Structure 1
Amino acid sequence: MKELTKIQRWLFIIGGALMVLGAGLYVFMWNQPIVCWVFLLGAVLFASMQIAQAYMGNSLVIKRLKNIMTLADLFFIIAGLLMVDNAYGLLRPMFHDITSYLTYVYNKWVVLLLIAAILEIYTMHRISSELEKE
Structure 2
Amino acid sequence: MKQLNKLQSIIYLLGGIIMVAGAGFYAFLLIQPIACWLMLVGSIAFALMQSRQRYFGTSLTIRRLCKIMSLAGCGFILAGFFMVEDSYHFLRPLFAGSLDSYDSYVNIFHHNWVILLLISAIIEMYTTHRISYELKKESEVQEPKKS
Which 4+ residue blocks in structure 1 deviate beyond 6 angstroms? Answer: none
1:25 maps onto 2:25 in alignment: yes
Structure 2, unpaired ranges of 5+: 139-147
SS in 2 for 1:112: helix
| Deviation larger for 13-22 or 102-111 | 102-111
Identify the match of residue 121 of structure 2 among 80, 100, 117.
117
Determine the C-alpha separation between the residues in 2 that align with 1:27 and 1:58.
Answer: 41
Aligned partner of 1:6 in structure 2 is 6
Larger radius of gyration: 2
Cα separation, 1, equivalents of 2:70 and 2:50 = 8
TM-score by length of 2: 0.89
Letter in 2 for 1:106: H
Corresponding residue for 1:89? 89
- Offset at residue 100 of structure 1 (A): 2.1
Q: Structure 1 residue 103: deviation in Å? A: 1.4
Q: Secondary structure at the match of 1:57?
A: coil
Identify the residue that residue 131 of structure 1 maps to in structure 2: 135
Q: CA deviation at 1:67?
A: 0.2
Q: Which runs of 5+ in 1 are unaligned?
A: none
Question: What code does the residue aligned with 1:102 have?
Answer: V
Report which stretch shifted further, 42-51 or 87-96.
Answer: 87-96
Q: CA deviation at 1:94?
A: 2.0
Total equivalences in the alignment: 134
Say which SS state the counterpart of residue 129 (structure 2) adopts.
Answer: helix
**Per-residue deviation, residues 8-64 of structure 1 (Å, max 9, x unmatched):** 000000000001100000011111111100010100000000000000101000000
Separation in 2 of the partners of 1:109 and 1:53?
26
Identity %: 51
Q: Distance in 1 between matches of 2:35 and 2:108?
A: 23
**Of 99-108 and 17-26, the range deviating more from structure 2:** 99-108
Cα distance between partner residues in 2 of 1:94 and 1:54: 40
Inter-partner Cα distance in structure 1 for 2:107 and 2:44: 27
Q: Which amino acid aligns with 2:54?
A: A
1:99 aligns with 2:103: yes
